[in-house]
Structure 1
Amino acid sequence: MPLDANDREILLDALADPASAWSLGAFGAAAEFRRGQDEPFATLEAGRVGLRTARGGVVLTLIETLRPVAYEMPVGDGWSHAVALCLPATSLVPPARMGFTDFGPDAEALDPTRREAVSFDLGLGLSPASVRIRTDRPAALDRLRAHRGSASIDFDAVIRPELVAGGADLVVAGPLGRIEMLGGAGDASGPRAFVVPKILLRRLTHLATAPIPVGLVPVGHLYPPHPCRDAAGRAMPFERARHDAFQALLARWGDRDGFALKAAILSGGPRPAQAADRWVRAIERVAGAQAGYLAHSR
């Protein structure tokens, strides 16, 4: 089913919510954007859906083939939740350029003052995303240009030092938009980025435990606020409204059989006939983790 007006409205509402976070990229190389509750921000020019802060920004392209997939996963004694932003695998094509490539000035930069800065593609060869470093500092430009054409770049040895020094930005751009992390290493309270070569070598599209339908590839994620954890991942008192809000997303964008099974477990009613595979066991664990919170929130 193509993305409809209601889907778009839900995603735009989440974009306006500072308690939600976004990521774009591939499994093993991605950027995440979040902002503080009272952090100043600016909207983008007309025609661009997104926002930016002094630490970074996000712009989204809500194309019709976007398929949101909501899911929950057991984590220890609790659970995580997310909405995978997926595209058909057949719509993703290999990048036109391989190797460390000088793109020149970044005309698409979210902050107009960064559009003269030069962008370099790391040449990771990923269909879901182009991972880039951007700078306007002469010394940094000289160091990066020395690597042009290299088939592979040591992220920790070449890229991370430029980011930590504060003179370069990291940009992840793909079919659903871009996320920028400005001038620093990033942290859990704001924009941050991940490039993990060991994971990239495996060429996986997602965790095997994530229930992504066959034929779809996650190219980003929406992380709505969790009912038991704050933005930094710290435990907090259970917020029933947050839980109910994600259950509505799960009912709309999640696996219907799994949603029905969890509802049956929590209600104590008869369970649908399903084989006890790993997906069923995961739902059972999530239901068990949620049951205590729900019992005390009625």
Structure 2
Amino acid sequence: MSDPAGLRAVLDRALAEPAAGWSLGGYGAGATFRRAPGEPAFPPCGGRPGLVTPRGALVLGEADTLVPVAYETALGGGSWSQALALCRPLRLLPPCPAPAVSEIGPDGAAARAEDRDAVLFCLGLTLRQARLLARVRGKAVPRLRAACGRPADAALWAALPGFGAVLVAQSGRDRIEVVLPDAHPGPRALWFDKLLRLGRLHAATAPIPPGLAPVIHLHPPHPLDGTGYDRARHAAFEALLARFGDPDLVALKRRILAGEAVAEPRTRAARAAARVARAQRRHLAPA
């Protein structure tokens, strides 16, 4: 990626779109950020790009320096997912933290200035792309200090809302904050122990180029919004795909959308792209 200003413009447009979703973390653990239409939102302190709502926060401190990879994933029932993954080279990823709760100190990078005196604890989950942290204050501080040195478990995870904790998924200067207890739709904290134990950097269905690991995902508004097919949303992601997607997969998809008969692709990523193209062609044909 040699155009950080262009990527920054893409991210700025997405921040202004209430229907866009964001996620930060690795395979099995992390956080997501969404906001409701009309929900109050303001920028993080310090002039950083992002959004702060009563239920959480998104800070994009260095997202425009990451490597963008746009892709689609075929789903059942003739649907598909779409995402812009912001990736970091594997050689630049830190090692996994020690598998135990540990105290970090005051959260000097909090999205809101009034939260900077609260105390951060690393939960010690075995992620390379991000750290999962709990931010607490008051009587909850000694409770988490008592857990230091031991692995985080399901009991501690379940206790965090009662501590008044904020879950922070952080990678470098990028982060998502989730006020607990979380609720759908809205910012969510994610921890799936079975997936985390697999040690994968991403889902096998995501065509991330070798040598890269996705850190942040932007999920633009989907063309199938539950009420029908939105051609403008489709066109908007097609532009991202053409700019940041795998050129071979983009070319294959265009051939199928144009009605060309193609042989069964050999790779998993190409077969998925073909399934997505055929699903989309059914919606594009009437138009």
TM-score (norm: length of structure 2): 0.93
The one of 274, 279, 283 aligned to 1:289: 279
1:11 to 2:7 alignment: no
Letter in 1 for 2:110: A
Letter in 2 for 1:181: V
- Name the residue aligned to 1:259: 250
1:167 to 2:171 alignment: no
Q: RMSD of aligned C-alpha atoms?
A: 1.9
- Name the residue aligned to 1:131: 132
Greater shift in the superposed pair: 89-98 or 238-247: 89-98
- Name the residue aligned to 2:152: 153
1:194 to 2:190 alignment: yes
Letter in 1 for 2:158: R
CA distance in 2, matches of 1:85, 1:13: 16
For residues 208-261 of structure 1, what are the alpha-carbon distances to aligned partners after superposition, in whole Å with 9 as ceiling and x for unaligned?
1110001000111000000103xxxxx221111001000000000101111111
**SS in structure 2 at match of 1:10:** helix
**SS in structure 2 at match of 1:83:** strand
Paired residues in the alignment total: 286
Letter in 1 for 2:128: S
**SS in structure 2 at match of 1:199:** helix
CA distance in 2, matches of 1:74, 1:63: 26
For residues 82-102 of structure 1, what are the alpha-carbon distances to aligned partners after superposition, in whole Å with 9 as ceiling and x for unaligned?
111101101112156552111
CA distance in 1, matches of 2:185, 2:63: 28
Alignment of 1:55-134 (within 5 A): 55-62=55-62, 65-77=65-77, 78-95=79-96, 99-134=100-135
CA distance in 2, matches of 1:192, 1:63: 20
Are the structure 2 counterparts of residues 189 and 96 from structure 1 closer, same or farther at C-alpha, using a change threshold of 3 Å?
A: closer
Tell whether the 8 Å contact from 2:249 to 2:270 is kept in structure 1 after alignment.
yes
Tell whether the 8 Å contact from 1:2 to 1:65 is kept in structure 2 after alignment.
no
1:276 to 2:266 alignment: yes
CA distance in 2, matches of 1:175, 1:274: 42
Are the structure 2 counterparts of residues 176 and 285 from structure 1 closer, same or farther at C-alpha, using a change threshold of 3 Å?
A: farther
- CA displacement at 1:278 relative to structure 2: 2.1
**SS in structure 2 at match of 1:289:** helix
Letter in 1 for 2:234: H
CA distance in 2, matches of 1:93, 1:167: 29
CA distance in 1, matches of 2:243, 2:173: 21
Letter in 1 for 2:132: V
Are the structure 2 counterparts of residues 181 and 206 from structure 1 closer, same or farther at C-alpha, using a change threshold of 3 Å?
A: same
Are the structure 2 counterparts of residues 270 and 292 from structure 1 closer, same or farther at C-alpha, using a change threshold of 3 Å?
A: closer
Provide the identity percentage.
45
Letter in 1 for 2:176: I
TM-score (norm: length of structure 1): 0.90
Unaligned 5+ segments in structure 1 are 230-234
Tell whether the 8 Å contact from 1:166 to 1:185 is kept in structure 2 after alignment.
no
CA distance in 2, matches of 1:64, 1:237: 33
Are the structure 2 counterparts of residues 13 and 116 from structure 1 closer, same or farther at C-alpha, using a change threshold of 3 Å?
A: same
Letter in 1 for 2:164: G
- CA displacement at 1:277 relative to structure 2: 2.8
**SS in structure 2 at match of 1:119:** strand
Tell whether the 8 Å contact from 1:128 to 1:175 is kept in structure 2 after alignment.
no
**SS in structure 2 at match of 1:146:** helix
Tell whether the 8 Å contact from 1:101 to 1:149 is kept in structure 2 after alignment.
yes
The one of 223, 239, 247 aligned to 1:248: 239
- Name the residue aligned to 1:232: none
Are the structure 2 counterparts of residues 289 and 228 from structure 1 closer, same or farther at C-alpha, using a change threshold of 3 Å?
A: same
- CA displacement at 1:46 relative to structure 2: 3.8
Letter in 2 for 1:86: C
CA distance in 2, matches of 1:169, 1:63: 22
- CA displacement at 1:146 relative to structure 2: 1.1
- CA displacement at 1:266 relative to structure 2: 1.3
